Structure 1
Amino acid sequence: MTISPGTPCPDFSLPDESGKTATLADFNGKPFVLYFYPKDDTSGCTREAVDFSGLRSEFDAIGVPVLGVSPDSVAKHRKFCDKHDLTVRLLADEEKTLIGAFGVWVEKSMYGRKYMGVDRTTALVAADGTVARVWEKVKVPGHAEEVLKAAREVAGAA
């Protein structure tokens, strides 16, 4: 089950694409976005990362950092960022600790084959550290803009 609004954001300490550690405490007192995606450099995940990167200045203007989270390694994230000129931070959750805590590591099925993977989900965390909004089974087109709109409301910049 995916984490629900009103729940405290689970604690985390994960490396980003540059190897720098990001922790929940880093965002104490400010809202932020966590978007969970299955895999670097696949079509939907690339589009989502490019869309969030394209809106980075608008998220920055309201003081809401955007963090992508997938089970890919730091090295894969670095390559993904370089290849597509991404500006959002990507957290490597190879042990799936945060992915598991949010309940987005799920059984999926493609062409009759069952496998485990990340259910594309986004969470907007409020300044008090609670989850303000969750988008499940995200459809990528227009999603980053929708998250920005909600982030403006949570940040009081509507």
Structure 2
Amino acid sequence: MQVCEEVLAPEAKVPFADLPKSEFVMDGFKRTYSNEDTLTVALPHFWEHFDREGYSIWYSEYLFPEELKQTFMSCNLISGMFQRLEKLTKNAFASVLLFGVNNDSAISGIWVFRGQDLAFTLSDEWQTDYESYKWRKLDPDSEECKTMVREYFSWEGEFKHVGKPFKEGKIFK
């Protein structure tokens, strides 16, 4: 009986399958980011090839900074999220940063996803952590977005919106 149910069960939806093809090659950007200077090569490559119709840029901010005690534990929180999202790597890139010091820190990041919506809703496997963050879609043509992408991808800048000094970062690729 179970075999029949499995055969008759609807096929699982493949995330991103309904999206049109994009000219932006995420793997090409990731290789450039990993192997070249961020400010002089990777960022110009990103903006030159970024497909505004096929991809979107999001700002994330951890909702519970009062729970962040030791900075090493906060970094483990980021790493754990990245591990649980492993199957999303072909269609996403992120730079998530930790700011501040022990008992006074914050986590925020810039994410690039395939499509115009948050990718986490496309698979139950990706939903474990995303509700712990506030998400805001950025306009890729705005100066705010360009500044945030530059700062988060290079791990350098004023990070005026955070109000704490940069501590360390992790890249999801």
TM-score (norm 1): 0.28
Of structures 1 and 2, the one scoring higher in RCO (CA 8 A, sep 6+) is 1
Q: Which has the higher helix share?
A: 2
- The structure having more radius of gyration, on CA atoms, is 2
TM-score (norm 2): 0.26
